[in-house]
Amino acid sequence: MASIEGTILDFRLLDQLATGGTSLHKIDARAKVLVALVFILSVVSFDRYALTALFPFFLYPAVVLALGNLPAGYFVKKVALFLPFALAVGMLNPLFDREVMVRLGPFDISGGWVSCASIVVRAILTISAALLLVGVTGFPEICRALERLGVPQAFAVQLLFLYRYIFVLTEEGARSSRARELRSFGGKGLGIGSYGSLVGHLLLRTWMRADRIHMSMLARGFTGEFHALQPSRFGGKELLYLLGWSALFIVLRLRNVSLLLGSLVTGAPQ
Amino acid sequence: MHMADVLLSPAVGGTMWAASSSAIAYCSAKVRKELDERKVPLMGVLGAFLFAAQMINFSIPGTGSSGHLGGGLLLTILLGPHAAFLTIASVLIVQALFFADGGLLALGCNIFNLGFFPAFVAYPYIYKKIAGERPSQARITFAAVAAAVAGLLLGAFAVVLETVSSGITSLPFWTFVVLMQPIHLVIGIVEGFVTAAVVSFVYKARPEILQGPVETRPVAGHSLRNVLLAFLAAAVLTGGVVSWFASGDPDGLEWSIAKVTGKDELKGPEHGIHGMLAAMQEKIAFLPNYSFKIPAEAKSDGPGAEGGAKSKGEGSKLGTSLSGIVGGLITLVIVFLAGFLLKRRSRAA
């Protein structure tokens, strides 16, 4: 994270993508949340050496990106930011798992390298599924979907509150942090002492803000739930979306489509 | 210290999901029942505060590096265990969705590792016991450091257990423990000092804020037992269900072994689609028998090195791996084209 302001801007951009009006955006959030979960479950349920069998799963992010009219470059960049981490985790595998698994001409590829590549591919798939879910649904809608899927109301309301005030408070934090940096010379004054009182003040202001929010909510007759203007419905379109994708993921999980295609071309037995 | 989707197996991820969601349900009911309704906006806003606080860095003396607050323990000191657990969980959900920290399947693990240990172990059994009713500056510092270290070490150990039992990485258990624990000991000490700095500031400025959760909180042992029981029940239940499904459908290693020995291929051609594909294959293949040669070579030099059964396995694996790679590349091209065409269509519409 380079700067706090940069992070907030990035956050806002993802938030705004969810306001798009494509047919994918209009599908009830519950269907999209469930499809994303089925997708992630199918991807992570492969054994550690699965690699080519994972490739057909790229169909889902590609279709969501296209139908949701989302900026592909933005998501590629966001996912790429996490690849060093996935690679760092995966790089340990070649060290511990040196048994040769694949021989391609003169090259011997150990099981460790295969599982390392598998970890990277999994990371790309699961991270993009989560980000695309937000990009095509929006966080408030996801919270409402969670509530209607059975998440306790107190928790769903708490999530909505959190989301509503993230922007306010991160901006306030960013301003305080910048002010402190401008007043420090040669790194002096950035230690725990000043940090403690800076964050402490932020905390006290937050606390008082919460009191004010609560009073104004009471004044407006808040009873513990947020109302949506257009309550969306889980209809035939949603059922089709959910069942269609789930069926595809299950087929792709059980049959290695890459291998089928490959053996179709090379003529090898599967 | 976020656990990532890539390291998890569905059985472990699902078990932790069930455990964490039942804890959320329990804490939600608790918060609803016994706390004043002022707490709900307070929890939300404090969660947002934690976001802001995590973004502000401080320099760590003597190292030249900088760190930031984790905040689990701080929230528990301010809100009490139940409300804090919910707040930490909601912060983790936002982080998983927007910053891809961890991931959706790993959420259950992360909520458990970063929420349960500070809220239900480190706070009631370490922080409260040391800090007492009327804490001094020194007591707050000592209590916070001890509690933060304990919480982080337990959390890191849970990460190791979850990762190793998932079996995606080849890292041996003890190597992983030795890698994780010292780092988290250091992080825990820093976290403890930062938490102490913030808590003592608040204690000086508005002591009543810190007394709130202490007085309204129920007896720690009782609440911990209930939460633990809920966790245990959910974990046993899903663990059982998941493993039942897993054994019905050959998974993971079994599945790959079946593939290597080619056992399930014997049945293959009888299926309609297999027969059809085999017939089509003879006509379509533009690299006929290319991959067949490689297994034959591998077989001929195999026995000398490793013995019959193994080389046979490797041979057929070789054939499949080549077609797998070729097919994988074709799949990626098709996916890319599909996305591209759909995009053009949706732009035109």
Boundaries of domain holding A178: 153-219
Please tell me whether residues B257 and B178 are part of one structural domain. no
Residue of A162, A176, A197 lying closest to B91 (CB–CB): A162
Which chain A residues are within 8 Å of B262, Cβ to Cβ? 269
pLDDT tens by residue, B307-342 = 444 444 444 555 556 666 677 777 777 777 777 777
Please tell me whether residues A128 and A179 are part of one structural domain. no
Residue B169 vs residues A239, B100, B104: alpha-carbon distances, Å:
36, 20, 19
Please tell me whether residues A62 and A31 are part of one structural domain. yes
pLDDT exceeds 90 at position A220: no
Which H or E run contains B66?
A: strand B66-67
Please tell me whether residues B245 and B287 are part of one structural domain. no
- The minimum CA-CA distance between B143 and chain A, rounded to whole Å, is 16
Q: Is B41 near chain A, with CB under 8 Å?
A: yes
Eight-class DSSP state of A49: T
Please tell me whether residues B241 and B262 are part of one structural domain. no
Residue B262 vs residues A90, A236, A254, A261: alpha-carbon distances, Å:
29, 42, 15, 18
A258:B327 CB<8 A: yes
Task: Judge whether A38 and A133 are in contact, CB under 8 Å.
Answer: no
pLDDT tens by residue, A182-210 = 888 877 777 777 888 888 888 898 888 88
A267:B255 CB<8 A: no
Residue B176 vs residues B67, B105, B188: alpha-carbon distances, Å:
23, 21, 18
pLDDT tens by residue, B112-129 = 999 999 999 999 899 988
Please tell me whether residues B187 and B274 are part of one structural domain. no
Please say which residue of B204, B228, B249 terminates a domain: B249
A152:B332 CB<8 A: no
Please tell me whether residues A97 and A39 are part of one structural domain. yes
- The minimum CA-CA distance between A162 and chain B, rounded to whole Å, is 4
Q: Is B22 near chain A, with CB under 8 Å?
A: no
Is residue A241, in this structure, part of any structural domain at all?
yes
As a whole number of angstroms, the distance between CA B117 and CA B125 comes to 11
Residue of B52, B90, B197 lying closest to A158 (CB–CB): B90
Is residue A225, in this structure, part of any structural domain at all?
no
Please tell me whether residues A124 and A241 are part of one structural domain. yes
B44:A160 CB<8 A: yes
Which chain A residues are within 8 Å of B285, Cβ to Cβ? 264-267
Please say which residue of B249, B270, B296 terminates a domain: B249
Number of folded domains that form chain A: 2
Number of folded domains that form chain B: 2
Nearest CA in chain B to A266: B287
Please tell me whether residues A174 and A255 are part of one structural domain. no
pTM: 0.75
Please tell me whether residues B153 and B234 are part of one structural domain. yes
Please tell me whether residues A123 and A183 are part of one structural domain. no
Please tell me whether residues B102 and B9 are part of one structural domain. yes
Residue A32: what pLDDT? Answer: 92
The whole-number average pLDDT for the span A60-67 is 90
CATH number for the domain spanning B13: value is 1.10.1760.20
Paired tokens of A107: 């090259």
Please tell me whether residues A68 and A31 are part of one structural domain. yes
Please tell me whether residues B38 and B124 are part of one structural domain. yes
Provide the 3-class DSSP secondary structure of residue A110.
strand
Residue B276: what pLDDT? Answer: 57
Is residue A228, in this structure, part of any structural domain at all?
no
Instruction: Kindly report which listed range (A35-44, B127-136, B226-235) carries the lowest average pLDDT score.
Output: B226-235
Interface test with A, best of B8, B99, B273, B291 (most A CBs within 10 A): B99
pLDDT exceeds 50 at position B253: no
- Over its C-alpha atoms, chain A yields an Rg (Å, rounded) of 24
Please tell me whether residues B243 and B106 are part of one structural domain. yes
pLDDT tens by residue, B49-76 = 888 888 887 777 666 667 778 888 999 9
Nearest CA in chain B to A152: B25
Instruction: Kindly report which listed range (A39-43, B238-242, B257-261) carries the lowest average pLDDT score.
Output: B257-261
Residues near B182 by beta carbon (within 8 Å), at least 6 away in sequence: none
pLDDT exceeds 70 at position A41: yes
Is residue A52, in this structure, part of any structural domain at all?
yes
Nearest CA in chain B to A173: B52
Residues near B174 by beta carbon (within 8 Å), at least 6 away in sequence: none
Chain A neighbours among B 127-166 (CB < 8 Å)? none
Residue B259: what pLDDT? Answer: 44
The whole-number average pLDDT for the span A136-155 is 87
Please tell me whether residues B213 and B240 are part of one structural domain. yes
As a whole number of angstroms, the distance between CA B283 and CA B236 comes to 52
Residue B235: what pLDDT? Answer: 60
Please tell me whether residues B26 and B101 are part of one structural domain. yes
Report CA torsion sign: B72, B73, B78, B81: positive
Please say which residue of B179, B214, B249 terminates a domain: B249
Eight-class DSSP state of B167: T
Boundaries of domain holding B302: 253-348
Please tell me whether residues A65 and A199 are part of one structural domain. no
Please tell me whether residues B257 and B152 are part of one structural domain. no
Residue of B29, B37, B103 lying closest to A130 (CB–CB): B103
Higher pLDDT, B90 or B210: B90
Please tell me whether residues B224 and B293 are part of one structural domain. no
Residue of A45, A169, A193 lying closest to B51 (CB–CB): A169
